[in-house]
A and B are shown apart, each in its own frame.
Chain A
Amino acid sequence: MSMVAEQRELRDDSLNGLQLSTRMDSIWRTPSGFSGALMSVDHKVVGRRYIVTAFAFLLLGGILAVLMRVQLAKPESTFLSADKYNQIFTMHGSTMMFLFAVPVMEAFAVYLVPLMVGTRNIAFPRLNAFSYWMFLFGGCFLWLSFALNVGPDVGWFAYVPLSSLQYTPTKRPDVWAQMITFTEVAALAVSVEIVVTVFKQRAPGMTLDRIPLFVWAMLVTSFLVMFAMPSIMVASTSLILDRLVNTRFYDSSSGGHPLLWQHLFWFFGHPEVYIIFIPGTGMVSAILATFARRPVVGYPVVILSLIATGFLSFGLWVHHMFVTGLPQLGAGLFTASSMLIAVPSGLQIFCWLATLWDGRPVYRTPLLFVIGFILIFVMGGLSGVMVASVPIDTQVHDTYFVVAHFHYVLIGGAVFPLIGAVYYWFPKISGRMLSERLGRWNFWLAFVGFNVAFFPMHILGLIGMPRRVYTYTADMDWAHLNLLSSGGALIFALSFALLLVNVIQSLRSGTLAGDNPWDASTLEWATSSPPPPQNFDRIPVVKHRDPLWFDTESMPVVAGLSVERREVLLTSLAEAEPQVREASPEPSIWPLLTAIATTVFFIGSIFTPWAVLWGTPPMAVALIGWFWPAGHKEDEE
C-alpha cells in the first residue's frame, strides 16, 4: 500500500463515542447466520462454545459417575455388568480428564486472557477455531463409539499389555488412543495461542509485573501443556502403531517394554494434574482479590510458586510407578521431589490466607467456593504427601484411598475454583448475574455432598477395597461406607443440577450485571458485559497492577489503530512497549474444513494405515485454503 493510501486510512483517533463503537463493532462482528457461525474466529464466541461443550462433557462424565455409585451402593449389585462397568470407569476418567478438565480451563483462558491483557482477539484466531472443532470432533468420536459399544475399557491410562492387541483385540483401545490425539492437538494449539497472546498482545504498559495472576497461571499452564502433551502423543501413537502395523514398542518378546508406556504416560500424566490445578489457582487469586477487597498478598511469591510448581511437576511422574519395582535410589529421589512440590503450593495457600486475613472479605458465592477449595485441596494435599512415601503408597496403591486422594486434589483443586469462576465471570460473559440464593445452596450441597461422597473412600481404601472393581461381596464389610459414599455422590450431583437451573434462570431473567458488578480491578471489567466484538473501542494503557482500582476517573488509552480493518497492537515481551499494528485474521470456513479433513484422517487411520496416504491430500488442500490470502484488506499490506 502506498504512503498516500495509508494516510487516507481511517483511524480511531478521528472518531469518537458511538460512532467509533459502531464502526469497530461492524469490523469485528462474526457474520450472521449459520455459515457465519461456522466461520467465527472471535475468541469470545469460540471460548463460549469451548466452555459449554466442556460442561456438556462434565454432565456426561458426571452421569457415568452416578451410575458407578449406584452400582457400588450395595454388594453384588447387578445394575451394571462387569463389561459395562469397565467401559464406564474408563469413559468417566477419560471424559473428565481429556474432555472436561483440561479443555474447560483452556476455554476460560480463550475467553478471558485477551480481555484481561487488553487486546481485541487471541493470537492465531483461526488456529483457535480449528482447536475447538478438533476438541468437539474428538469428544463426539469417543462418545459415539461408547454408544456403539466400542467405548474404551482399559482404564484412563490404558496400560499395556492390557491395551495391546493380544489382550484387547477390539477397537476399544484405538478409540481411546485416537481421542487422545484429537484433544492433544486442540490443547497444544490453544497453548501456543495463549503464550503468544500473553507475550505479544498485552496492552501498552502491562509489564511482566502487572500481568493479572490468572493470566500468569494460564501462561505457566500453557508451557506445561507444550512440554507434557507431546509425551502422550508419542505414547498414543506408538500404541496405535503396535496395534495396527505390528510395531513392537510394548512387546516384551521382541525387545519392547511395558514400563516404557508407563514412563511416557506419566511423564505427561503428572504434569497433567498441574495443568488442571494451576488454572484453578489463577481463578482463586482473581476471585480472592476482588472479594477480599485488596490485591493478593505476595504477588511475586505467587508467580514464583506457579513457575516452581510448573518445573517441579515434571520431576514427579515416577511416583505413579512405585510398585513397578524401581531401583531404591529412584524411589527415594521421586519421593523427595513429590514432597518438595508441596512447598510452592503451601506458599500460595499462605498468601491467600494472608489476603483474606488482611482484607475485608465479602462472602459472596465465588468466595465461598474459594474457601471450599482451600479446605478440600489442603486435605487432598495432605493425603498426597502420604502417598508420596513409598511404604504407604505400596500399601494403598490401586485402592480407594488413591481414588479419594485424587478426587480431593482435582475436584478440590480445580472444580471448586472453576464453579467459583463460573459465578464470578458469568456476569461478564452473559451480561446477567447468577442468583446468589441458589448459589449458596449450590455451594453447600457441593461441599457437603463432595465430602460425604469422597471422605469414606479413604477408609474404604485403607480397609482394602481395590479400585476398578464392579462389585464386592457382603462379607467384605464395605457396604455401609459405599452406601454413604453413593448418597454423598447424589447430593454432589444435585449441586450441579442446581447450577444448571441457576444458569438457565439467569440467562432468561437474571439481574443485569453492568460493566463491573463486583468492582473488580482487572481489564476484562473495563468493557461492557457481554463485551462487544472488538472487546475495547480503544486499547487501554496500563499504569498499575490493578488498573480499575487505580484509574477510577478516566481510563488512559492509545489511539491510531485502523477502523477499516481488523488490527491488534503488538507490544514488546517484557515492557509491553507498542511495536507493531498487526492485522488480525477475518472469519474463515477453512479451520472447520481442515478439522473435518483431520478427523477423517485420524479416524480412518484406526482402521487402515493407508489412511495416512489418502487422508493427507485433503488436509493439505484445506491448509492451503486456510493460508492463501483471500483478498481481505489485512492481506494486502
Chain B
Amino acid sequence: MRQTIVRNVGDLPTYGYGPRSGPWWGAMGFMALEGMGFALAIGAYLYLYAVNPNWPIGAPPPDLWPGTAEVIVYLLSIIPNEMTNRAAHRQDLARVRTGLIVMSLIGIALLVLRGFEFAHLNTRWDNSAYGSIVWLILGLHTTHLVTDLGDTVVLTVLMFTRHAKPRKFSDVTDNVFYWNFVVLAWLPLYALLDWVPRL
C-alpha cells in the first residue's frame, strides 16, 4: 500500500524519564506483581494467625531493635535516594556517582541489620508454622533488598566507566524508583512481623 508521511518524529529525544520511558513502566509492572507477592504472604501470615489459638507459636515475639533500626535507616535513605534522583535528572555525573555510592553503602548496612534481624527472630523456620511464615516473609523482602543492592552496585560501577552516557541517567532514576518500593514494602512487613505477635 502507498504510504503518506503525515508526521516527522525526528526531533524527539532518544530517552525519557519516568512515565515517558519504557523501563519505568517495566519497573512499575514488576513492583505490582512483587507487591502482590508480599500481599499474599501477608495474607498467609494472617490466615495462620487466625486459625491458631496461640500466636506466636512456641516462641517469644521477635526482638524489636533490629526491625526498628531498619525502619529508621530505610526512611532516612529516602533523602540520599531523592538527591540521587534529582542529580540524575540534572545529568550531574559527579553527584550521581556520590549518590550511588552512598546508596550502595546504605544497602550494605541494611543487609547487616537484616542479618541481626534473622538472628533475633527468636524462632526457626522449622519450629512451627509461625516460624515458617516469618522466615518466608523476611526472606522474600531480603531477596528484594539484595536484588536492588546488586543493581545499585553494578550501576555505580557502570557510571565510573565510559558507558556513563546520558541515557544511563534514566536507568539511575528507575533504580531510585525501585528502591522506594523496597522501602515502602518494608513498613507493613515490619508492623506485621514485629507488632502483630505482640497484640
Contacts and interface: CB of A to CB of B under 8 A. Distances in A.
Interface string B1-31: 1111111111111111001111001100110
Interface stretch (A247-255, A372-380, A475-483, A499-507): A247-255
A538 B22 contact: no
Interface residues of B, number: 55
Given A247-B126, A255-B57, A635-B163, A555 B9 contact: no
Interface in B117-131: 125-131
Given A188-B33, A191-B29, A234 B40 contact: yes
Given A241-B132, A255-B57, A637-B15, A233 B5 contact: no
A148 to B, nearest CB: 30
Interface stretch (A92-100, A152-160, A194-202): A194-202
B158 interface: yes
B115 interface: no
B166 interface: yes
Interface in A98-121: none
A264 B44 contact: yes
Contacts of B10: 11, 13, 559-561
Nearest to A233: B37
Interface of B: 1-16, 19-22, 25-26, 29-30, 32-34, 36-37, 40-41, 44, 47-48, 51-52, 57, 125-133, 135-136, 150, 154, 158, 163, 165-167
Contact of B20 (A257, A541, A579, A623): A579
Interface residues of A, number: 72
B26 A196 contact: yes
B114 to A, nearest CB: 16
Give the secondary structure class of A's interface: mixed
B25 A227 contact: no
A256 interface: yes
A636 interface: yes
Contact of A196 (B12, B25, B154): B25
A569 interface: yes
Interface of A: 11, 13, 123-124, 188, 191-192, 195-196, 199-201, 204, 226-227, 229-231, 233-234, 237-238, 241-242, 245-249, 251, 254-257, 260, 263-264, 267, 515, 526, 537-538, 541, 553-561, 567, 569-570, 572-573, 578-583, 620, 623-624, 627-629, 635-637
B28 to A, nearest CB: 8
Contacts of B16: 570, 579-580, 582
A260 B12 CA distance: 52
Contacts of B5: 13, 538, 556-559
Contacts of A555: 1-4
B30 A248 contact: no
A247 B132 contact: yes
A310 to B, nearest CB: 14
28 contacts: A13-B10, A124-B26, A204-B7, A226-B32, A226-B36, A230-B36, A237-B136, A245-B126, A247-B132, A248-B129, A255-B48, A255-B128, A256-B129, A264-B40, A267-B40, A541-B6, A553-B1, A554-B2, A555-B2, A556-B6, A557-B6, A558-B9, A579-B12, A579-B16, A580-B16, A582-B14, A623-B150, A628-B158
B4 A554 contact: yes
B171 to A, nearest CB: 9
Contact of B132 (A231, A256, A538): A256
Nearest to B17: A580
B57 A254 contact: yes
A248 B47 contact: no
Given A241-B125, A559-B10, A635-B165, A554 B1 contact: yes
B8 A255 contact: no
Most buried by B among A11, A247, A267, A628: A247
B25 A247 contact: no
Nearest to B49: A255
Contacts of A201: 22
Nearest first, the 7 A-B pairs at minimum CB distance are A560-B10, A247-B132, A192-B29, A255-B129, A554-B2, A230-B37, A256-B129
A257 B48 CA distance: 7
A257 B132 contact: no
Given A554-B2, A581-B9, A637 B14 contact: yes
Most buried by A among B9, B13, B15, B150: B9
Contacts of A123: 22, 25-26
A192 B167 CA distance: 22
Contact of B21 (A227, A580, A627): A580
B179 to A, nearest CB: 17
Given A256-B48, A579-B16, 13 more contacts: A123-B26, A238-B44, A247-B132, A248-B128, A538-B3, A541-B7, A556-B6, A557-B3, A569-B12, A578-B9, A581-B12, A582-B16, A582-B22
